[in-house]
Amino acid sequence: MSLYPFFGPRPMLSAMREMMRDMIAMQRHFEPMVFHGASAAAQNEVFKYDNDKFTVNLAVSEFKPDELKIDVNGRQLKIEGNQKIENENGFSHRSFSRVVLLPDDVDTSAIVSNLSNDGRLSIEAPRIAKKEGTSIPINVNPAVTEKAKPEA
């Protein structure tokens, strides 16, 4: 009696096919959860970079203005929301954090944020105006000739 459960390659291949069928079935069960979650998050966040500004829009209707915080550290824009709700049955805590790397050509000292009545947080950073190139004139000077030194 052999301790090896398969004798020859055919039983091993059929076992591998069965495992592959099981893996595909599991993937079909998990796909809706993965893709639904990603699309819901993508609908709540909009990043826009046009000719005059960089804009971030987030849906934060669950948070009050005093529960939101925006920080800028170098080119890093950090948006946070923290909410704690207590009642007679207990308490709940909800939070989020987004970090956005700002483009090089935005003015981080002029960033403004607005919260609309429907809970949309809009953060705008104006682009730094590019300096137009200037033409530098070329001055033409007469050639300098060396005078022969008298020999002593």
Residue given tokens 């009696």 in the structure block: 1
Is the pLDDT at 34 greater than 60? The verdict is no
* pLDDT tens profile 122-142: 999 999 887 778 888 888 888
Q: What is the mean pLDDT of residues 111-120?
A: 93
* DSSP one-letter code for 11: H
Percent of the chain with pLDDT over 90: 32
Residue 115: which residues within 8 A CB-CB, separation 6 or more? 60, 65, 68, 121, 122
76: tokens are: 């890093």
Give yes or no for a contact between 17 and 9, defined as CB atoms under 8 angstroms apart: no
Domains recognised in the chain with CATH numbers: 46-126 (2.60.40.790)
pLDDT level of residue 23 (50, 70, 90 thresholds): confident
Model confidence, pTM: 0.58
32: tokens are: 């809706």
Beta strand spans in the chain (E): 45-49, 53-59, 68-73, 76-87, 90-101, 112-115, 120-126
Least confident of 101-105, 118-122, 127-131, 147-151: 147-151
For residue 74, give Cα distances in angstroms to 78, 80, 142. Answer: 11, 17, 51
